[in-house]
């Protein structure tokens, strides 16, 4: 079903064929869609040991509603969709959903973020869809540090999924959040994965999304880079891809990258729109929701009506993440699992 655009939106917007363009002229062609806030790990930088006040299942978008959101977003010019959580694969039906939206005309890239727990045996289904890439969250290779970070002894499961993803020929990025006092010693071992594997290992600044309002002490991007330069073969800068600044270490098969999420170094080129599992629209990770799709979906909104809501959600997007955070009416107390990692 095609999206019907309002007359003012017809024709070429600043973003060419994209009709989600913010006041700064940035075309939002990338949708990060969360399908659940639930997770099978309890990572310290994401939530407390007891988990979260999970959104009631009745308030989570159904698969049909989520598919409508993707269809409308693609009709507005979104070309890349990332499925996230929580942990997306704890929700029954996620792989079937991926297969359905893969067939949507205009969707060029379909990717997934996962912690890999319990996924190894289903990787073949992902490859068959096919998904275009998988980001695997992996904060430590040492079993004790992994347990300290995630509060779950599931490192072997995550590594089994990594092996399965590579055996299936899928494009893999490994994401590691650097938290001071916990996993700094893991930076070099994780980076060394890229010596022999065709992967990108990306280190992420700790951000204030632990659900408690606490800003975990992390390493800034500059310190992570200095540490890598001090312990790896010479690094050549490859430039930025999305949010990551990428580097090639001499003799490495893969690459390393650094995501300056807390520094907000990439705001000027941000092309992301987020929709949470309960249908909140967020045009900035640090800002408050700028729209809520669930009530409109439950009242039978058409594709055209949903398109208007999405356009309205980006119409007053701030210039960067600091401005978004500064404009919040409420203190930033939210879990990354609730937003969509």
Which DSSP state fits 88? G
Dihedrals φ, ψ of 302, to 5°?
-75, 170
Q: Which two tokens stand for residue 12?
A: 């070429």
What per-residue confidence (pLDDT) applies to 341? Answer: 65
**Which structural domains are found in the chain, ordered by start?**
28-339 (3.20.20.70)
CB contact at 8 A, 253 and 197? yes
Question: Which of 258, 275, 265 shows the shortest CA–CA distance to 223?
Answer: 258
CB contact at 8 A, 27 and 21? yes
Q: Which residues of the chain have pLDDT under 50?
A: 1-14
What per-residue confidence (pLDDT) applies to 225? Answer: 97
What per-residue confidence (pLDDT) applies to 334? Answer: 66
Which residues lie below 8 Å from residue 304, measured CB to CB, with a gap of 6+? Answer: 3, 4, 5, 6
Question: Which of 153, 163, 193, 161 shows the shortest CA–CA distance to 176?
Answer: 193
What per-residue confidence (pLDDT) applies to 264? Answer: 80
Question: Which of 295, 281, 276 shows the shortest CA–CA distance to 335?
Answer: 276
Characterize 168-197 residue by residue with b for buried, 16 or more Cβ atoms within 10 angstroms of its Cβ, and e for exposed: bebebbbbbbbbeebbbebbeebbbbbeeb
Q: Is the pTM of this model over 0.75?
A: yes
What per-residue confidence (pLDDT) applies to 13? Answer: 40
Judged by DSSP in three states, 152 sits in coil
Write the DSSP assignment of 208-219 as a string of letters.
Answer: S-BSSS----B-
Q: Which two tokens stand for residue 82?
A: 């990332």
Characterize 44-71 residue by residue with b for buried, 16 or more Cβ atoms within 10 angstroms of its Cβ, and e for exposed: bbbbeeebbebbeeeebbebebbebbbb
């Amino acid at each position: 079903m095609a999206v019907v655009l309002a007359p003012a939106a017809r024709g070429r917007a600043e973003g060419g064929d994209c009709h989600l363009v913010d006041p700064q002229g940035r075309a939002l062609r990338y949708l990060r869609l969360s399908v659940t806030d639930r997770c099978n790990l309890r990572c310290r930088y994401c939530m407390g040991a007891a988990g979260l006040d999970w959104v009631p299942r009745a308030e989570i978008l159904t698969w049909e509603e989520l598919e409508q959101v993707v269809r409308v977003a693609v009709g507005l010019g979104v070309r890349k969709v990332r499925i996230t959580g929580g942990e997306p694969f704890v929700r029954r039906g996620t792989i079937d959903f991926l297969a359905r939206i893969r067939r949507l005309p205009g969707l060029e890239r379909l990717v997934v973020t996962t912690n890999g727990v319990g996924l190894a045996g289903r990787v073949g289904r992902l490859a068959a869809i096919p998904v275009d890439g998988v980001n695997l969250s992996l904060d430590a290779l040492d079993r004790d540090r992994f347990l300290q970070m995630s509060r779950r002894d599931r490192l072997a499961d995550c590594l089994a999924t990594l092996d399965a993803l590579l055996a299936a020929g899928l494009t893999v990025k490994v994401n590691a959040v650097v938290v001071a006092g916990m996993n700094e010693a893991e930076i070099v071992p994780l980076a060394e994965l890229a010596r022999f594997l065709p992967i990108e290992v990306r280190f992420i600044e700790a951000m204030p999304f632990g659900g408690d309002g606490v800003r975990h002490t992390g390493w800034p991007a500059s310190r992570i880079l200095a540490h890598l330069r001090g312990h790896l073969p010479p690094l050549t800068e490859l430039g930025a891809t999305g949010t990551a600044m990428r580097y090639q270490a001499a003799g490495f098969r893969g690459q390393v990258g650094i995501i300056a999420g807390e520094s907000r170094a990439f705001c000027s080129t941000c092309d992301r729109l987020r929709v949470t599992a309960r249908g909140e629209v967020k045009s900035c990770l640090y800002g408050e929701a700028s729209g809520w799709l669930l009530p409109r979906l439950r009242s039978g909104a058409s594709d055209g009506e949903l398109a208007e809501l999405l356009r309205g959600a980006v119409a007053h997007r701030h210039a960067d993440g600091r401005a978004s955070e500064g404009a919040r009416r409420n203190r930033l107390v939210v879990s990354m699992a609730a937003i969509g990692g």
